[in-house]
Structure 1
């Protein structure tokens, strides 16, 4: 009997030639796609640790040549880098925490029918995704609020993000309403329901919002360009952006400070515009890139549940 069952199942489990070809094509396609995604990061890293004259000549494409770490030592020794790194870390941590809290609370409140003029306030926030006053009115507003040359200009304008609120609202609507009704029958108020019942269930969507916010805060440099003239409040990205733009002059100053006597070994570690651009790009990209593996399992689930109701 068992033999007959196996004989009956085996043909059904066999793959046709078309399926095998499709699977092979699928594997090749996604391997190529993964290579296209990963190679730019790999290229930056191998060029930042390779011989600088070989990197400047475009000879480093697949494997590092003449590995050394002088580029990172010299870039980290640049003036103002420690202060700007602290500013970027502080704005990323504080901004992300406040944005996540605001998105969670507003997303929850917009699902509460007893909220005063709920639909009006929700539409009022969503419409800001499509219309804004522009750069000059925004600058005037920040100046009148005394937020120019102020650390909080990095934080306050980014706390309420309409897209994040929409994601959280859709996620909360997928939670069974019977949970909230049972809590209300037990005498729980709106804040109690939010903090003790709904918020603990929001982990996937809040991780998604946290990633969006952290990446946005870490990579931002235009707000520094617009609102800041005090170098003590420059973000890391802005400082490195200026270094990239001034790579030729910076490389010349590093070479001059190294002295006039040059040999073959010194030439390999001598800063060039290419080495500065590669090293600075790696410093900017890698820290936030390390955040993704820790939130990956929440990210996909949060995006799916926050985008589709039900």
Structure 2
């Protein structure tokens, strides 16, 4: 089928606009990468835009050699893995239970969950509740409050309701109970949805700085994003180096003179962003396949 000239021009314009949009998104990333790989004192002079002018790894050596940052990474990795697993488990079980139309008080439960998704009590009541539960200043403040997501539950519920009733009924005729149906029918068919929701949950845990900033005062329990938020507000390098840390780096003298707060900030941003960015290419296909199926089928 021949393509008219107007269609070719419109396609070229669309490609050009999307390319500009893509560049506008990627440029800040490459700029931060260039600054993080450049000597801080040299970068402070300006003129570093896409590639480092005075290449060095000293910024990453300082960041990765800092005990506070390494520990905050362990906190972030631990909460992301544990929070994603528990979040998917609770969401799946809740959606599977509410998918049974004969469940007593099912409509009332769905209405209650919907209300919690639309309204909340605010930050102060949440803090009081977490304090009374003993979760403030605890690692579990990252896990327990995020185990259940109303939005994820409704998406998962829609997906489960889209599974043919005949498939479940035939399993019940063969003597399969709810648990066996869950593990042998629902979960295998829900892998795209679980992958999509798992990615959403993992990204939410990895990027969350709020809980660490407001519900945790112990520096040994803050995640890396909260540390980055504190670093972005810092006015000197002591927020990163501390008084007793990185003594080996401090002993190198001449190299340390080339480090600035901005170069350290860029290195921390890159180190905190790269791991989750590497996950996207492997799970990107599940975004449309999983979420669209779960939101359209009914």
TM-score, structure 2 as length reference: 0.91
SS in 2 for 1:132: coil
Alignment counterpart, residue 81 of structure 2, candidates 76, 83, 93? 93
What are the residue-to-residue correspondences of 1:199-278 with 2, within 5 Å? Answer: 199-250=187-238, 258=250, 262=254, 266=255, 270-278=258-266
Residues 261 and 161 (structure 1), Cα distance of their counterparts in 2 relative to 1, 3 Å cut: closer
The answer to whether the Cα contact below 8 Å between 1:71 and 1:275 also exists between their aligned partners in 2 is yes
* Deviation for aligned residue 1:286: 0.9
| 2:90 is the counterpart of 1:102 | yes
CA distance in 2, matches of 1:123, 1:54: 59
Hey, what does 1:285 align to over in structure 2? 273
Hey, what does 2:8 align to over in structure 1? 20
Larger Rg: 1
CA distance in 1, matches of 2:109, 2:229: 38
Hey, what does 1:5 align to over in structure 2? none
Aligned length: 294
The answer to whether the Cα contact below 8 Å between 1:44 and 1:278 also exists between their aligned partners in 2 is yes
* Deviation for aligned residue 1:204: 0.9
Hey, what does 1:176 align to over in structure 2? 164
| 2:83 is the counterpart of 1:84 | no
CA distance in 1, matches of 2:164, 2:90: 22
CA distance in 2, matches of 1:218, 1:252: 20
The answer to whether the Cα contact below 8 Å between 1:247 and 1:277 also exists between their aligned partners in 2 is no
* Deviation for aligned residue 1:261: 6.7
The answer to whether the Cα contact below 8 Å between 2:203 and 2:276 also exists between their aligned partners in 1 is yes
Hey, what does 2:142 align to over in structure 1? 154
* Deviation for aligned residue 1:273: 2.1
Unpaired stretches in structure 2, ≥5 consecutive residues: none
Hey, what does 2:130 align to over in structure 1? 142
The answer to whether the Cα contact below 8 Å between 1:51 and 1:67 also exists between their aligned partners in 2 is yes
The answer to whether the Cα contact below 8 Å between 1:45 and 1:279 also exists between their aligned partners in 2 is yes
The answer to whether the Cα contact below 8 Å between 2:66 and 2:240 also exists between their aligned partners in 1 is no
Residues 31 and 260 (structure 1), Cα distance of their counterparts in 2 relative to 1, 3 Å cut: closer
CA distance in 2, matches of 1:286, 1:304: 27
Unpaired stretches in structure 1, ≥5 consecutive residues: 1-12
> Runs of 4+ in structure 1 displaced over 6 angstroms?
251-257
CA distance in 2, matches of 1:291, 1:21: 36
The answer to whether the Cα contact below 8 Å between 1:96 and 1:210 also exists between their aligned partners in 2 is yes
TM-score, structure 1 as length reference: 0.88
CA distance in 2, matches of 1:294, 1:143: 39
Supply the RMSD in Å over aligned alpha carbons. 2.3
**Superimposed CA distance per residue, residues 48-72 of structure 1 (whole angstroms, 9 cap, x where no aligned partner):** 1023223223311123211111000
Alignment counterpart, residue 33 of structure 2, candidates 29, 38, 45? 45
The answer to whether the Cα contact below 8 Å between 2:31 and 2:49 also exists between their aligned partners in 1 is yes
Residues 113 and 281 (structure 1), Cα distance of their counterparts in 2 relative to 1, 3 Å cut: same
CA distance in 1, matches of 2:172, 2:253: 80
SS in 1 for 2:92: helix
